[in-house]
Structure 1
Amino acid sequence: MEEKRGDVQELSDFELQVYETVAEIDKDGDAADIGTLTRLIERPEEEIWAALSHLVSANHLHSTPAGFVLGPHDWAP
C-alpha cells in the first residue's frame, strides 16, 4: 500500500523551511531533533512544533524516537 502525502502547495513558506531543514539533516541519515531545528531555524520552538505537527499529519515527515525524518518522497537523496 502506498502512503499518501499532502499537497506540497498547501504548505506555508515556514513549513517548507522546516521541511527543507529536516531534509538536509536526513540526507546524512540523521534525524532532526527539536533542539537542532530551533538552533538552525532561529524561530520560537512553538512555531517549529506547529510546523512539524502539520508536516507529520500531511505525511511529509515521520516522527521517530531519535527525531524527525523525511516521509515518503519521490526524489533521490
Structure 2
Amino acid sequence: MDDMRGDVQELSDFELTVYETVAEIDKGGGAADFATLGRLVGGPEEDLWAALGHLVSVNHVRSTDHGYVLASHDWAP
C-alpha cells in the first residue's frame, strides 16, 4: 500500500470527526469497531461507511480484524 496520505484539510467535517474518534480510541491502545464508532459519532450508517472508506483510501486509517486504527503517521503519540 502506498504510504502517501491525503491532506487532512481535504476531509469533510464528518470525516474529520470519524478520524478523531478513531485516533482517540487508537491512542488508548484499542481499535474502533463500527458499532462503537456509530454510537460515538452518530449519523446515518451509510455516511459512516463512506467516511471510513474514504479515510482508508487516503491512508489516514486502516482496517484490522478488530476495527479501525490509525495508519502510519509521522507525529508523536
TM-score bin, normalised by smaller chain = over 0.9
Q: 1:1-77 residue pairs with structure 2 within 5 A?
A: 3-77=3-77
Gaps of 5+ in 1: none
TM-score by length of 1: 0.92
Q: Percent identity among equivalent residues?
A: 70
Cα RMSD after superposing both structures: 1.1
Structure 2 unaligned blocks of 5 or more: none
Structure 1 runs of 4+ aligned residues shifted over 6 Å read none
1:11-38 superposed Cα distances (whole Å, 9 cap, x missing partner): 1111000000000000011000000000
Q: TM-score, normalised by structure 2?
A: 0.92
Distance 1:30 1:7 in 2: 24
- The Cα shift of 1:53 comes to 0.1
